[in-house]
Amino acid sequence: MLPDPLHPAVVHFPMALAILLPLAALVLLYWIRRGAPVRTVWSGVVVVAGLLLGSSWLSLQTGEQEEERVEEVVAEQAIGTHEELAEQFMLLAGVVFLLSAAGLVSHRAGGWARTAATVGSLLLIPAGIRVGHSGGELVYQHGAASAYVGSGGLPSGGPDGSRATGDREDREDREDRQGN
């Protein structure tokens, strides 16, 4: 049985892979420079980069599937910001994947691609932090989890089973009064 909501369960994969990819790239670059066969060793980076790209795409898809429900309690602007950051992250993951695949070439061009892929993988860390932070804000500051309160086995917001926050219009009015 899949978790409901699915998006929070899926998003942890690209975040973990974004940390593991630069570590793997740095270690494998070291091995290549010590004489290890390029294609054999570097293919590990290509696989991790491919998994990162795939899990980023899946995270975007699950987020889009749950967007409508969360829009009932969270302003569209906050969701849009999170989605834009996630799209930027996936785009960067795609570039890193292409660079890492080009790194399978044995000659000088492959060396440049491996170095560029490693640098790009390091840039994925702050990009991932921004996406994760904006997602955390959706849940903890904007109350996105309240869209699921009382369903799917999550605890209800109050003794009568009501949501922890008001409807979307009330939330937007409160944010406007607070200057958000």
Whether the pLDDT of residue 106 is over 80: the answer is no
Q: How many CB atoms lie within 10 A of CB 80?
A: 11
Per-residue pLDDT, 175 = 59
Q: Are 135 and 11 in contact (CB under 8 A)?
A: yes
Sorted by sequence, the CB contacts under 8 Å of residue 11 that are 6+ apart come out as 59, 62, 63, 132, 135
The whole-angstrom separation of Cα 101 and Cα 50 is: 9
d(CA 152, CA 176): 31
Q: In whole angstroms, what is the distance from residue 112 CA to residue 115 CA?
A: 5
pLDDT > 50? residue 159: no
pLDDT value of position 158: 39
7-178: what fold?
A: Four Helix Bundle (Hemerythrin (Met), subunit A) (1.20.120)
Rounded distance, CA 43 to CA 110, Å?
12
pLDDT at 161 over 50: no
Angle between helix 12-33 and 76-102 (nearest 10): 20
- Position 157 scores a pLDDT of 43
In the prediction, which pLDDT does 4 show?
82
> Confidence band (pLDDT; 50, 70, 90) for 176?
low
Tokens of 144: 């996105």
Q: Which residue has better confidence, 174 or 148? A: 148
- Is the pTM here over 0.85, yes or no? no
Does position 18 have pLDDT exceeding 90, yes or no? yes
> Does the pLDDT of residue 134 top 80, yes or no?
yes
pLDDT at 41 over 70: yes
pLDDT of residue 1: 84
